[in-house]
Amino acid sequence: MAIAGFETAAWFSARERESAFEDLLRSNEKRVLRTAWRLLGSLEDAKDASQEVFLRLHKHFERLAPATIDAWIYRTTVNVCMDQHRRRRPEGELAIDPPAPATQLTGLESDERKLRLERAIARLPEKERAALVLREIEGLETSRVAEILNVTDATVRSQVASAKSKLKEWLA
C-alpha cells in the first residue's frame, strides 16, 4: 500500500521533515484510529492510542524504509493498544462505547446487535482480537497480518478462525 507524501527516507530539513510527517499523519490517521477503536472498543481510548502511535512515528519515521512503514504503523498500533489495555484495565475488561446513532449503522440490523458484536470482540484474547481486526475489519491479507503480528500465516488463519468461532458462539 502506497503512502502518500512519503517517497524516500532521506534526510529532511526541519520544514521538509514536518511536512513529510504531516502527510504521513493525514494519510494514516483514519486507519490507525479505526484499528485502535476496534481493538480497544472505546473511541476515547483509541484517540489516546492513536496519538501515541503518531508520536512514536514522528520519532522514528526518518529511519524507516518506505516499504516497511505500513507494517510498522499497524504493529505499533496493535502494541500500543495492548499496552494501554493492560495498563488501564488490568482486569481485562474493555470499555465499550454506547451504540452509535442508527443512521451510522447502515447495514447492521440494530444498534443492539452492533453493541453485542463489539462486546464480543472485546472479550476475545488479545492475539485473536488483533488477528481478527487486521484480517476481517482492516481487510489485510493473511500474509500481511502475519508480518505485522510476527507470526506465521497458519497462526493467523488459526487465530482468525478461533475468534470467529467464539463470536458465533457468543452471539448465537
Partner 1 sequence: MTGWLDKSLQQLAAEDPPADALAEVRSRVLDQVRPKRRPWLWYLVPAAAAASLAIWFALPRPAATPARPTVEIAAQAPAPPAAVPVESPRAEPSAPSEPVRRPRPAPAQIAKVETAKTFQPRILPTGSPDFVQIESGNPDVVILWSMNSPKISDQSGENK
Q: Footprint of partner 1 on this chain (CB under 8 A)?
A: 14, 18, 21-22, 25-26, 29-30, 33-34, 37-38, 43, 46-47, 50-51, 54-55, 58, 100, 104-108, 113-114, 117-118, 132, 136-139, 164, 167-168, 171-172
Residue 157 corresponds to which cell in the numbers above? 488463519
**Min CB(90)–partner 1 separation in Å:** 25
Go through the chain and tell me how many residues it has: 172
**Min CB(71)–partner 1 separation in Å:** 19
Enumerate residues 6+ apart whose C-beta is below 8 A from 81. Answer: 35, 36, 39, 40, 46, 49
Nearest-angstrom CA–CA distance, 46 and 37: 5
CA distances to 2, 35, 70, 156 from 5, in Å: 9, 22, 13, 31
Between 67 and 165, CB nearer to partner 1: 165
Residue 4 corresponds to which cell in the numbers above? 502518500
Between 7 and 22, CB nearer to partner 1: 22
Enumerate residues 6+ apart whose C-beta is below 8 A from 170. Answer: 120, 123
- Phi first, then psi, for residue 111 (nearest 5°) are -60, -35
**Min CB(142)–partner 1 separation in Å:** 15
Question: What is the CB neighbour count within 10 angstroms for residue 141?
Answer: 12
**Min CB(5)–partner 1 separation in Å:** 14
Between 16 and 67, CB nearer to partner 1: 16
**Min CB(88)–partner 1 separation in Å:** 18
Between 78 and 167, CB nearer to partner 1: 167
Between 55 and 154, CB nearer to partner 1: 55
